[in-house]
Amino acid sequence: MKVLVIGSGAREHALCRSLSLDPAVTALYCAPGNAGIADVAELRTVDALDGRAVATLATELGAELVVVGPEAPLVAGVADAVRAAGVPCFGPSEEAAQLEGSKAFAKEVMAAAGVPTARSYVCTTPEEVEEALDAFGAPYVVKDDGLAAGKGVVVTGDIEAAKAHADSCERVVIEEFLDGPEVSLFAITDGETVVPLQPAQDFKRALDGDEGPNTGGMGAYSPLPWADPKLVDEVVETVLQPTVDEMRRRGAPFAGLLYAGLAITSRGVRVIEFNARFGDPETQVVLARLKTPLGGVLLAAAQGTLADIEPLRWSDDAAVTVVVASHNYPGTPRTGDPIEGLDEAGKTPHAYVLHAGTKRDGDAIVSAGGRVLSVTATGAGLAVARERAYAAVSRIRLDGSQHRTDIAAKAAATEA
């Protein structure tokens, strides 16, 4: 099977790495890709937001499956354009991707499906904002309604900061603060059958101890030794399946990856957000543990035959990924700095380096984005995986770079 992956981040590198290990995948392309993905897939150039261009590329390559990684092309209808050209595509339609593209739409679907989530108001005027903030009290949760690359959410005790963020958005969702640990649970679905993956935890804040601003994610681990073993079944039953059923009922079936961002509160599981694609950096650790070849699973989702596949097989190993980010991320990052030590890092046992924002500049590989690398390792338990990931990180040299030093630290301490 010839596969084309669309995107250029560490998530796409993880997807391409897994697909390259699938014996059924005979040719693998990625567009636009990055300097690291070039090691496992043939790169092509394309404007990932241009559905016609992606469909043309897929046809030219003879692709038998297109996998759309990021949210922006999905929300722009790229999966629809690929399917219209007769090529199976893993990724929801433009309409179904609104589950991520509009937080207000997601809230409406959850209400209709009876899915537990934070109580919320959708506001468009300063008066509505003021009323909603008053109604819930501190800490305030203010969310840009549209896509914001993981940076549209402000959680703060400071009412002026909450109002300022609301003012900067056209339409905001203001909601109740959810207390409790967060879990990311992904499911692959063909619009009907829901196949959950293993849960992971992401670290959204920039600095150790969950301090600093929200980012796209600074690290992740899986499994979650502290979580209830029944969590996955419960979330399928109360969140994922009802949402998929409700989307189908609306005539906008959701086929692709449904990402539930959850808070485990004292009153039970609540949805923080849905995403319409694999999460980054959680994908790096989830795929590190998946033993079933990935290509067949994604193709079954694209073709509506997920009910027929064998149950997924998982490694008992734990996986940890640590994101190495540029100077000043999540603000405007500094780019163009050379990255050294990638070969040494990649030789760390059971560790590998996934590239996010990198590009080739002559013989050098240089930083080209906010999140630059996602250093991933596996091992018998989180403590071992963590040690290996950080051993690999310590071999990388990137001027001004930053990473968190506490990824999976607490969870590793709770391991038996």
Q: Which residues of the shown chain bind ligand GLY in the complex (CB under 6 A)?
A: 150, 202, 217, 275, 279-280, 282
- Give the SS3 label for residue 23: coil
Among ligand GLY, ligand AMP, none, the one that 155 touches (CB under a kind-dependent 5 to 8 A) is ligand AMP
Smallest distance from ligand GLY to CB 94, Å: 19
> Could you tell me how many residues of this chain bind ligand AMP (CB under 6 A)?
16
Among ligand AMP, ligand GLY, none, the one that 178 touches (CB under a kind-dependent 5 to 8 A) is ligand AMP
User: Which residues fall within 8 angstroms of residue 152, CB to CB, at 6 or more apart?
Assistant: 143, 144, 146, 169
By CB under 6 A, tell whether 71 contacts ligand AMP. Answer: no
Site for ligand AMP in 320-379 (CB under 6 A): none
User: Which residues fall within 8 angstroms of residue 273, CB to CB, at 6 or more apart?
Assistant: 100, 103, 106, 261
For ligand GLY, give the closer residue by CB, 150 or 242: 150
Tracing tokens 């409700």 back to the chain, one arrives at: 246
Distance CA 255, CA 303 (A): 9
Stretch that binds ligand AMP, among 22-30, 173-181, 224-232, 281-289 (CB under 6 A): 173-181
Stretch that binds ligand AMP, among 3-11, 171-179, 298-306, 325-333 (CB under 6 A): 171-179
Q: Cα angle at 217 between 200 and 178, to 5 degrees? A: 70
For ligand AMP, give the closer residue by CB, 180 or 225: 180
Q: Are strands 27-32 and 2-7 parallel, antiparallel or unpaired?
A: parallel
By CB under 6 A, tell whether 155 contacts ligand AMP. Answer: yes
The answer to whether the CB of 324 falls within 8 A of the CB of 373 is yes
CB atoms within 10 A of CB 24: 12
For ligand AMP, give the closer residue by CB, 204 or 388: 204
Smallest distance from ligand GLY to CB 150, Å: 5
Smallest distance from ligand GLY to CB 64, Å: 27
Q: Which two tokens stand for residue 146?
A: 């549209």
Distance CA 241, CA 231 (A): 14
**Residue 71 parent element (H or E):** helix 71-75
The length of the chain is 416
Among ligand AMP, ligand GLY, none, the one that 153 touches (CB under a kind-dependent 5 to 8 A) is ligand AMP
In the complex, which residue's CB is closest to ligand AMP?
A: 273
For ligand GLY, give the closer residue by CB, 261 or 296: 261
**Among residues 20, 56, 156, 214, which is the contact residue for ligand AMP, using CB under 6 A?**
214
**Residue 34, amino acid:** N
**Among residues 73, 88, 196, 261, which is the contact residue for ligand AMP, using CB under 6 A?**
261
Tracing tokens 């009323």 back to the chain, one arrives at: 131
Smallest distance from ligand AMP to CB 182, Å: 6
Burial grade of 271 (CB within 10 A; 0-12, 13-18, 19 or more): buried
By CB under 6 A, tell whether 246 contacts ligand AMP. Answer: no
Distance CA 105, CA 220 (A): 28
By CB under 6 A, tell whether 199 contacts ligand AMP. Answer: no
- Give whole-number Cα distances, 165 to 147, 272, 278, 338, in Å: 15, 19, 27, 35
- Give the SS3 label for residue 203: coil
Smallest distance from ligand AMP to CB 199, Å: 14
**Among residues 65, 110, 141, 239, which is the contact residue for ligand AMP, using CB under 6 A?**
141
By CB under 6 A, tell whether 182 contacts ligand AMP. Answer: yes
Smallest distance from ligand AMP to CB 45, Å: 30
**Cα-Cα end-to-end distance for the chain:** 42
Among ligand AMP, ligand GLY, none, the one that 330 touches (CB under a kind-dependent 5 to 8 A) is none
Distance CA 219, CA 320 (A): 8
Binding site for ligand AMP (CB under 6 A): 118, 141, 143, 150, 153, 155, 175-178, 182, 204, 214, 261, 272-273
